[in-house]
């Protein structure tokens, strides 16, 4: 198909039209771009899996138009803690995994008895959801296993000619996928690190790392967000020496003098983790398209957003 890109508010009506027709549409969120379809229409949701070439056992996140949808799609057992999290972090980059209601199609949850839900803070997606009046399912708008898109151009690279419409809302604010938590036994189980940090969640309850050995989130798969080039993680970029004739791309956290790299990208010249997260996937994409033999990336201090970024880097390095 011919992929149309429409920027800003002009895209809202066209996006709603696609959703009503049971089609997929790429939309901006505050985390990364998502590939959205009517969450309550199994045929529409199937198109997400086909378009992304996503394994059907990987469940999707459902984006709600408003908090009144919470009880319609999910069962809220830990009433107080869930309410507190919703009040503090919604709309925003926190996804809650809760027991699901029957109205959620099996294809959305990959047959699980839980559903992942969130409410986006992105003004364009918010308006699309209000006009559509129903939840959408929306995983990241990339081919399965690849680097998540943070601009409309990235979506075009990934899914161009496979989807009818890309809503262009500019570069996304956070740049990494939402934090995913399950609330169980009054504790917060961290399933995927993200913009809402473990430190922030600790104000509300005990936070435990995911205990499950079965994969609940593809964000938990050892290999994910993979660039084409092999990626090597180091503690300090400057001390890396390329082999003779080796073309190496460097990914530094902060400003660095490292002329040994054929291509160098800096996540945040002032060493700010928020800025680093926002630039992470774009920089990985740029290094990947610079035809390097190897990408060497520097780990961030393992705290706050740094831990979420390191998590993406480790999975990008695994294969």
**Footprint of Mg ion (CB under 5 A):** 140
Query: In angstroms, what is the minimal distance from the CB of 56 to ligand AMP?
Result: 12
Burial class (CB in 10 A: 0-12, 13-18, 19+), 81: middle
Among residues 147 and 267, whose Cβ is nearest to Mg ion? 147
Query: What residue 175 binds from ligand AMP, Mg ion, none (CB within 5 to 8 A, per partner kind)?
Result: none
Structural tokens at position 302: 């393992």
SS3 248: strand
Candidate list 65, 91, 105, 139; residue touching ligand AMP; CB under 6 A: 139
Largest CA distance in the chain: 61
Q: Is 218 in the site for ligand AMP (CB under 6 A)?
A: yes
Q: Which stretch binds ligand AMP (CB under 6 A): 1-9, 84-92, 114-122, 200-208?
A: 114-122
Query: How many residues bind to ligand AMP according to rule CB under 6 A?
Result: 20
Among residues 115 and 163, whose Cβ is nearest to ligand AMP? 115
Q: Which of 152, 67, 61, 176 is nearest to 108 (CA)?
A: 61
Query: What residue 191 binds from Mg ion, ligand AMP, none (CB within 5 to 8 A, per partner kind)?
Result: ligand AMP
Q: Is 112 in the site for ligand AMP (CB under 6 A)?
A: yes
Q: Is 273 in the site for ligand AMP (CB under 6 A)?
A: no
Query: In angstroms, what is the minimal distance from the CB of 192 to Mg ion?
Result: 10
Distance CA 266, CA 241 (A): 18
Query: In angstroms, what is the minimal distance from the CB of 225 to ligand AMP?
Result: 9
Distance CA 69, CA 62 (A): 11
Distance CA 275, CA 240 (A): 24
Do 42 and 110 meet the contact criterion of CB atoms below 8 Å apart? no
Distance CA 70, CA 77 (A): 12
Residues that bind ligand AMP (CB under 6 A): 58-61, 97, 109, 112, 114-116, 139-140, 177, 180, 191-192, 216-219
């Amino acid at each position: 198909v011919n992929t149309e890109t429409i920027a800003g508010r002009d895209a809202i009506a066209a996006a709603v039209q696609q959703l009503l027709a049971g089609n997929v549409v790429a939309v901006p969120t505050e985390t990364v771009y998502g590939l959205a379809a009517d969450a309550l229409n199994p045929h529409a949701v199937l198109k997400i899996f086909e378009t992304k070439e996503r394994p059907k056992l990987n469940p999707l996140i459902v984006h709600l138009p408003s908090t009144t949808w919470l009880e319609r799609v999910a069962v809220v057992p830990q009433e107080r803690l869930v309410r507190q999290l919703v009040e503090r972090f919604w709309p925003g980059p926190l996804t809650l995994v809760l027991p699901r209601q029957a109205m959620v199609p099996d294809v959305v949850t990959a047959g699980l008895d839980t559903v992942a839900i969130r409410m986006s803070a992105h003004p364009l997606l918010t308006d699309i959801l209000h006009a559509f009046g129903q939840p959408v399912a929306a995983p990241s708008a990339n081919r399965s296993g690849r680097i998540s898109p943070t601009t409309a151009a990235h979506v075009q690279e990934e899914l161009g000619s496979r989807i009818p419409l890309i809503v262009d809302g500019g570069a996304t604010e956070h740049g990494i996928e939402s934090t995913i938590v399950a609330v169980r036994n009054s504790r917060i189980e961290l399933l995927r690190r993200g913009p809402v940090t473990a430190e922030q969640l600790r104000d509300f309850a005990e936070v435990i790392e995911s205990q499950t050995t079965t994969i609940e989130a593809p964000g938990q798969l050892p290999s994910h967000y993979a660039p084409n080039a092999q990626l090597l993680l180091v503690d300090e970029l400057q001390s890396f020496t390329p082999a003779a004739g080796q073309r190496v791309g460097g990914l530094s956290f902060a400003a660095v003098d490292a002329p040994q790299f054929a291509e160098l990208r800096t996540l945040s010249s002032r060493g700010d983790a928020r800025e680093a997260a926002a630039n992470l996937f774009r920089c990985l994409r740029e290094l990947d398209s610079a035809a390097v033999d190897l990408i060497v990336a520097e780990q961030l201090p393992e705290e706050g957003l740094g831990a979420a970024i390191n998590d993406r880097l480790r999975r990008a390095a695994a294969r």
